[in-house]
Amino acid sequence: MRVASGGSVLPEDLRSRVLERIRPTRLQFSMLGRLYSLVARALEECEDLRLSIPAYRVELVGSAAKGTLLRDKWEVDVFLLLEARREEVRRLGESLLRSCLEGRLPYYFKYSEHPYATVSLMGMQADVVPAPLAVDPRDAVGVERTPFHTRYVRSRLEEKPWLVDDILLFKSFLKGIGVYGAETRVGGFSGYLAEVLIIHYGGFEETVKAASSWRPPVMVDTTGGKADLDMLARRYPDSPIIVPDPVDPSRNTAASVTPKRLAELVHAANIFLRKPSPTFFHALQPGEPCRRTLPGVMVLMSGNYSDHPPDSVWGRLKRLGERLYRATKARGYPALSYSFYTDEALEAAVYIHMESPSRYPIEGRLGPPTWDRERATRFTEKRLGEGGWVWIGDDGRLSGARPYTGSAAGDVERALATLPLPPGTRSYKVVTCPSTGPCGFPSYLEALRDPTPPWLRHVLGGCRS
Amino acid sequence: MRVASGGSVLPEDLRSRVLERIRPTRLQFSMLGRLYSLVARALEECEDLRLSIPAYRVELVGSAAKGTLLRDKWEVDVFLLLEARREEVRRLGESLLRSCLEGRLPYYFKYSEHPYATVSLMGMQADVVPAPLAVDPRDAVGVERTPFHTRYVRSRLEEKPWLVDDILLFKSFLKGIGVYGAETRVGGFSGYLAEVLIIHYGGFEETVKAASSWRPPVMVDTTGGKADLDMLARRYPDSPIIVPDPVDPSRNTAASVTPKRLAELVHAANIFLRKPSPTFFHALQPGEPCRRTLPGVMVLMSGNYSDHPPDSVWGRLKRLGERLYRATKARGYPALSYSFYTDEALEAAVYIHMESPSRYPIEGRLGPPTWDRERATRFTEKRLGEGGWVWIGDDGRLSGARPYTGSAAGDVERALATLPLPPGTRSYKVVTCPSTGPCGFPSYLEALRDPTPPWLRHVLGGCRS
C-alpha cells in the first residue's frame, strides 16, 4: 500500500529492522485492552458517579487509542467525560475518581494542570483524567483537547493506515535524539505534534527531509490555508516553530518546542540523511553510550521532589543551570554550557561545563583613557592597592591586572545563595571536577558531565578518551 | 627672577631639593669644557681637513652648549661643520674624522643615520658629528638641524635664563617616568622637544599642568601662529602629538612620540599634580624599585648586537614583542602585554605577560547554525573526531569544544620560527614562568616581568607581594 518516494535515503531493510523492534505487539494491545476494560467498567458501574452527574462517558484516548504507541510503552489514557461545567469537573473530579476506584483498582493521584488518577496494574499504567463532556474544540483548554486530537488522528489514519508505521518511526527517532515530549524537562515535540507532522508530510522520510531544511522561524501549515499564520506568529513570538493545530487552527501545536530542541532535530535530520543508522531510533541505541566528560562544577541537591509537580522541579532546575552558567561566566570562569537532572524524588543536580574548573589566577582589566583624569588615577590606585599591575599599551590605553583568589566552588556557593533552588530542596553541596576523567559520581551523574547528545556520540565517532 | 604662578602645586622645597640633585656642577662644566677644547683643537689643527675642505668650523652643540644638561650626563656634542655638499660630507666624514683623531684622542665609530665618532676620555664622552656648514634650516635633515636647535634655545634662554632650571626639572621628570629620548627604544620626548615645551609654556609646572589635560591628538603651536597645523596633521597622521619646530615650522618636533609615551606623560602629570613626589625625578628614585612579576613566557636571545645600530635592534625587538603578544593571544593564551630589553651587545629578551602561562586545556568553539547543513555536519564530525564535544545551546546555536594539548613555550617556539628576530641573533631559548614569583633570571630580566612602570610603583603603593 505504501508508495516509496523517489530518491529514498532510508534503506528499506533499516526501516523494517527498526519497525520490527518498535511496533506494538498483539499481546501488548490485548493486555492494554484488558486494563482499559477494567478501568472502564469500574467507572461505568460507579454508583457515586451516577448519582452526582446526569451523564458521562468513558473514552480511550492517546496513542493506544490511535494504534501509534511504541512497543515499550505499556500505558493507556482514559478520559472520564462528565456532563458538567469545567469548574464542576475540577471541583468534583478527584473525589469522584477516588470513590469509583477505591477498593477496585490500585491507584494514586498525580497533579499537573489538574488532578488525575494513575491506575497501576501488572506493570501497566492507566491515566484516568476527568474532563467536561461537551466542549467545542475551539474552547477546549489543556487536556480537554486530547479527545479531539485522538479523534482527528484516528480519522486521518483510517484513510491512510500505512502512516501508522511512519508515526512509530518518527516518534522513535524523536525519542532517540532526545527531543520527544512537550514537558518542561524536554521542551520538545509531543506525540500529537509528531502525528500531525507525519500526516502533513505523508511519511517518516518526507518529514525528516522537510525538517532537515527547516530554518527558524519555521511555519508548517497543516490546515491547508485555514490557519492565520501572521496571527499565530504574533501570538507565539518566542516559538521557533509554528504548527497550527488542525483541531483548533488558532493554537500552535508546537508551542512547547524550544529553539534548542528544534535545532537538535534539524541537526539530527541532516546527519541522519547523510548517515542513516538504527542508533537514531530509541529502541536500538546501545544501553551505555560512551561518554567524554568535561571539567566543571556539580551542584548536588537533595530534597522532597516527589511532593512537587515534576514540571515545576524541572523548570526551576533548568533556570538554575542557566543562571549558574551565566554567573560563573560573568565571574571569569570559562563556562561552556550546563546540564541538569532530577530523579523527581530525592535528588537533583546541575553541572556547569567548563574549559577548566578554575579561572586564571590573574585578571586583566581595561582601564579608562588616561585623559579621563579622575577615573584613570582611581583605576591605577585601585590596581596597585590590590597588589596588581598597571601599564599603558602601545595604543595608549591604560590597562591593569589584579590577582584573583576565589575558587569555582566558592564562587558557585556564593551565587547559589541568591538563586531560587528547585522546590523541595533541603540541602546542597558543590563539587569541582578538575579534569576530563571520572569525578566519582554514579554513572547517571557522570553522564551530565558530557554536553554532547548521546545519539551524536553513537552515530559519529564511537568512544574516544 | 622667577615669578611663581598662582596655585602652585609643586612645593618650593621639593623644587629646590630636586634641583640640588640634578643641576650640573661647576666642575662638570669645566671638565666637559676641557674635553671640548681637546676635541676642537684636534680638529682645528688637522692637516688632512685643511687640505681637503676649503673652510670648516667646530661648534659645541647640544645640552652642554645650552647649559641644560643634567648632572649625571658627562657628554658633549661637537659638530664639525664643513664647507661641502651633503653628499661629500657623507662620503668624506668618516675618513677625515679618523685621520684627525687618530693618535691624538681615543675614539670609536658609531653608525646611526650616518657615521660619527665618539671620543671617550676619563669617563666623559664627546660625540663628533660631521655636517655641512651652510644649510638653510628649512632644508636641513636629521642631525643637520642640531646646530639650529642649539642656537634657537640659547637665544631664548638668554632672554629668560631662569627657564634653565625648569628645563632641567622637566627633563629629569621625563627621564624619571621613562619617556625621555627620541630613539626607537623609548619613542619618547627628545631633549630639544622638552626645551621647546618649557619655553612655550613658561615653566616646569605650567608644562606639567598643560600635559595633564592633553588628549590626543595634541597640538601645541610653539610658533605663535606661523605653523600650518592642518598641513602638519596631514603630514604626521600617526603622531598623537604635534609640536611644530620653531626652527622649521613644517616639521613636527614630536614625531618620535608614540601614543604609549604620550599617555604615560599625561598619566604621570595627573598623578604628579595630585601627589607631587621627588621619586618622579630620575635622580631621586630608589635604586632597586620594588617589582611584582606576572607569569608568562621569556624569549632569551643571544647574538652580536653591537655589530648593528641600536635603533635597528631595539626596533626589531619591539616588533617581535608585539607580534608574539598577538600570536599567543590569537592561540588562546591570556596574554596581557609585553616587555623587551637588550644590552645592545650580547643579549636580547622579550617577555610576554600573561594571566597564566598556560591556556585552558579545552577550547570552546562556536559552530555554524544547524540549518547551514554542510558546515554544521562538518563541524560536528570534526569536533567528535578530535575527541571533543558538540552540543546545541538554549539559543539553538551549535557549539563545540576540543582538547588542546600545546604548551605556551611550544606555541611561542612555533611562532618564532616565522618571525624576524633582531639582527645579529645567533640563538634563542624560550622559558615559561609559571607564577608571580621569581623565575630564576638576573634582576634586570626579572624586571621585564612587571609591566608596571617603576615610577608608578614608587609613587603609588610601595612594595606588595
Domain A162-284 in CATH 1.10.1410.30? The answer is yes
Whether the domain at A23-152 and the domain at A296-359+407-449 fall into the same CATH topology: no
Burial B66-97 (b: 16+ CB within 10 A, else e): bbbbbbebbebbbbbbbebebeebbebbbebb
Q: What is the pLDDT of residue B241?
A: 98
Q: Which CATH class is domain A23-152?
A: alpha beta
Distance between CA B351 and CA B321 in Å, rounded?
Answer: 7
Contact between chains at A464 and B387 (C-beta distance less than 8 A) = yes
Query: What one-character-per-residue DSSP string does A113-141 give?
Result: SSEEEEEEETTEEEEEEEEES---TTT--
pLDDT (0 to 100) of residue B9: 67
Could you read off the pLDDT of B226-259 as tens digits, one per residue?
889 999 999 999 999 999 999 999 999 999 999 9
**CA distances in angstroms from A246 to A107, A171, A192, A231, A287, listed in the order given:** 34, 19, 11, 15, 37
pLDDT of residue A5: 46
Peptide bond into A217 cis (omega under 30): yes
Q: Closest Cα of chain A to B448: distance in Å?
A: 12
* B42-79 pLDDT, tens digit each: 999 999 999 999 999 999 999 999 999 999 999 999 99
pLDDT score for B1: 39
Nearest C-alpha of chain A: how many angstroms from B33? 41
The answer to whether the Cβ–Cβ distance between A452 and B403 falls below 8 Å is: no
**For residue B212, what is the nearest residue in chain A, using CA coordinates?**
A371
pLDDT tens readout for residues B355-368: 999 999 999 999 99
Interchain contact, B460 vs A384, CB within 8 Å: yes
| Cβ separation A436–B362 shorter than 8 A | yes
Would you list the domain boundaries of chain A?
23-152, 162-284, 296-359+407-449, 362-403
Q: Which CATH class is domain B23-147?
A: alpha beta
Q: What secondary structure letter does DSSP report for A282?
A: G
Q: From the centroid of its chain, how far is CA B327? A: 24
The answer on pLDDT for B463 being more than 80 is no
| Cα–Cα dist B334/B339, whole Å | 15
* Residue B409, φ and ψ in degrees, nearest 5: -60, -45
User: How would CATH label the architecture of A296-359+407-449?
Assistant: 2-Layer Sandwich (3.30)
For residue A197, the surrounding DSSP H or E stretch is helix A191-201
Mean pLDDT calculated for residue range B179-207: 96
Q: Cα(B123)–Cα(B103) distance, rounded to whole angstroms?
A: 19
pLDDT in tens, A178-208: 999 999 899 999 999 999 999 999 999 999 9
User: Do the Cβ atoms of A385 and B355 come within 8 Å?
Assistant: no
* Three-state SS at A51: helix
A271, A391, A395 member nearest B259 (Cβ): A395
Facing residue for A392 by CB, picked from B263, B397, B464: B263
End-to-end CA gap in chain B: 48
Model confidence pLDDT, tens digit, residues B113-126: 778 999 999 899 99
State the CB neighbour count (10 A cutoff) for residue A41: 13
pLDDT tens digits for range B71-124: 999 999 999 999 999 999 988 989 999 999 999 999 999 877 778 999 999 899
Residue A120 and residue A35 in contact, taking contact as beta carbons nearer than 8 Å = no
How far, CA to CA in Å, does A34 sit from each of A31, A40, B35?
5, 10, 120
Contacts by residues A115-124 (CB-CB < 8 Å, ≥ 24 positions apart): A116/A143, A119/A35, A119/A38, A119/A39, A121/A35, A121/A38, A122/A31, A122/A35, A123/A74, A124/A31, A124/A32, A124/A35, A124/A74, A124/A75, A124/A76
| Residue numbers of chain A with a pLDDT score lower than 50 | 1-6, 464-465
A168, burial (CB in 10 Å: exposed 0-12, middle 13-18, buried 19+): buried
